[in-house]
Amino acid sequence: MANSFYLVTLLPLIGFLISGLLGKKIKNEKVIGTISTLAVFIPFIIAALTFFELLSADPGSRKIVLNYYNWITAGSFTVNYAYLIDPLSISLVLIITGIGAMIHLYSIGYMHGDPGFAKFFAFLNLFIFAMLHLVLADNFLLVFLGWEGVGLCSYFLIGFWYEKKFTGDAAKKAFIINRIGDFGFMVAMFFIFTNFNTLDISKFLEGLSGYNVGDPLLLIIALLIFLGATGKSAQIPLFVWLPDAMAGPTPVSALIHAATMVTAGVYLIARTSLLYALSPVAQMTIFYIGLFTALMAATIALKQNDIKKVLAYSTVSQLGFMFIALGTGVYWVAIFHLITHAFFKALLFLGSGSVIHGMNDEQDITKMGGLKSKMKITFITFFIGSLAIAGIPPLSGFFSKDAIIFETFKEIGLPFMIITLIVSALTAFYMFRMVALTFFGKPRYDQNKVHPHESPSTMTLPLIILAVLSAIGGFIGVPHFMGIPTYLEQWLHPVFEKSTAVLETIHKVQEPSMATELLLVSIAVLVAVVSIVIAFRRYSKQESFEPEKGFGKVLENKYYVDEVYDKAIVTPIQKTSEGFLWKIFDIKIIDGFINGIARYVSNISFDWRKMQTGIIQDYTTISVAGVIIIMVYILLS
């Protein structure tokens, strides 16, 4: 399988070229849709076969490096176009291609009739291509290629309906804010190159063994990489692009802003986990930012009325959970939550897309209601997804979220665990608020104008598959005390064993008793169930909506973060650029300098011009004078 692994990235590229270049000629939507979906599904098959190959191999040797091309050679510095296939990367490749293929299938139905149908699939394939490079790359430079590539495709896809100004603005916002993170990543690469003379990830991790815990250089690199991660994975302070990115088509939100691109930051930190194990300060920073982001985003989601905005803030919050997991040092749990979140968040987004499609592009949940009888499959799958995200056993979200809450208690402490419980409660609450307002109660829309209908099977089939995965996907990471082996932890063990070893030398925690674990699990479930019940009772019968007042208004306006950024950062930069750098520095100083030189030369020439009288005798006079001077000089010397 390793011999044909190149197809995994080549096929999406070919799909992009076909849809992009020949899309206008092949007007048949089914053909384009099928080609694009196969361009992602076949890689999934190949990845699955490679997965089984790795599974059957010896646990210590589950690592394949495929070197295709010697990209850069400069003295002793080499960068290869090479893929690193190990448990971590193959898991992510499966998620990307698997969920990606389902979303491609879904898009055939969702984007039906759109004039840019072929362009959409071209960009989706290009995105898969770039994202695969990000996770498969063997060195930071290739990761960065994928990193930038997904940012670019995100820009294309968010701004897909660019005729509306808001959409173009949202795309620009996403790209620019991502860029700030990219700057962090780039500077980190500079530091890595200068100090380790390599950008190869494996060599870098080996080189770390010569450094002590708490080394300032490692801290700088770790924080810079984390800055990049906050940009891509929408954490504080760079999360503001994600809610705006909902302006793009719903499959884009599902694929990019739920399942794949936003997890790039989590993946990168997991990949370089040894660095973070050696920098406790950086690791705690990740924990705090993840925690604070999770809490903040969950509170904002409570008061959002756009179905996709709720899910957007939910994504930011759940990404916060993943960073909390990274911050506790139990890295496999972050990947676990990444996987389960990919399942249920993609499901929820696709479900919301189905609702939007059925409600004739209506996105405001205050204008919905009673849809459960009209869109049965969408309702059931959406309900399952909501149960998963709320953390109800035995669905997948329960296992991954519970693992995070437990690890927070074990590694960090009780007060922080309580905060994660609060976020968990809020998550359950806002999700079921949304479910209640959308699917239950009496219809709050004009029944004559809007006729909600179930979506076609190309859209409902992915929903069903994802619902099944959300329900049973958690069993790969069952906690020890329940008897089933924690498959995912064992599978990812080779990737994280060095980092875990370093963390154990720093501080060893008491493994809590089974009773404590059971108690915590029960509390978490109880909290979730209570939140669901309260939300349900409050919102399932709601008829009318009053404008928000007080703190509710602050939440609805997302703590005015965008306005604060605008006043504190954007406007000053704009004013300085316009008022000072342009009007004064560029026009007066630089232009003035250049024009001044020109004027100076012009003035000198004005006087010297007078030598040209046009009278030959003047010229002859000067010639003769010259001759005389030369003659005198020769005669005298």
Contact set with other proteins (CB under 8 A): 609-610, 612-617, 620-621, 624
**Alpha helices, DSSP H, located in 111-164:** 117-136, 140-158
Identify which of residues 573 and 601 has a Cβ nearer to other proteins in the complex.
601
Residue 579 CB, nearest approach to other proteins (Å): 44
**Do residues 401 and 524 touch, judged by C-beta distance below 8 A?**
yes
- Rounded to the nearest whole angstrom, what is the least distance from the CB of residue 619 to other proteins in the complex? 9
Give least dist CB 601 to other proteins, A: 16
| Least spacing, CB of residue 613 vs other proteins, in Å | 6
Instruction: Report d(CA 167, CA 155) in Å as an integer.
Output: 10
**Cα separation of 294 and 292, whole Å?**
5
Query: Among residues 210 and 614, whose Cβ is nearest to other proteins?
Result: 614
Output 69 or 606, the one with its CB closest to other proteins: 606
Report how far Cα 574 is from the mean position of its chain's Cα atoms: 27
Quickly count helices (H) and strands (E) in the chain: 26, 2
Q: Which helix (H) or strand (E) holds 614?
A: none
Distance of closest approach, residue 588 Cβ to other proteins, in angstroms: 33
- Report CA torsion sign: 214, 215, 220, 224: negative
Q: Which is nearer to other proteins, 507 or 610 (CB)?
A: 610
| Alpha helices for 359-486 (secondary structure H) | 376-390, 396-407, 414-439, 457-472
Nearer to other proteins, 24 or 609 (CB): 609
Q: Are 267 and 135 in contact (CB under 8 A)?
A: yes
Residue pair 105/255 in contact (Cβ under 8 Å)? The answer is: no
* CB of 624 vs other proteins, minimal distance in Å: 6
Q: Is the separation of the CB atoms in 333 and 404 below 8 Å? A: yes
17 close to 79: Cβ distance less than 8 angstroms: no
The span from the CA of 127 to the CA of 100, in Å, is 10
From 421, 384, 422, select the one nearest 519 (Cα to Cα).
421
Amino acid at 128: I
Q: Which is nearer to other proteins, 570 or 624 (CB)?
A: 624
Q: Which is nearer to other proteins, 69 or 608 (CB)?
A: 608
Q: Give whole-number Cα distances, 166 to 173, 203, 245, 516, in Å.
A: 10, 45, 10, 50
Smallest distance, other proteins to C-beta of residue 629, A:
15
State the nearest-atom distance from the C-beta of 602 to other proteins, in Å: 13
616 vs 634 by CB, closer to other proteins: 616
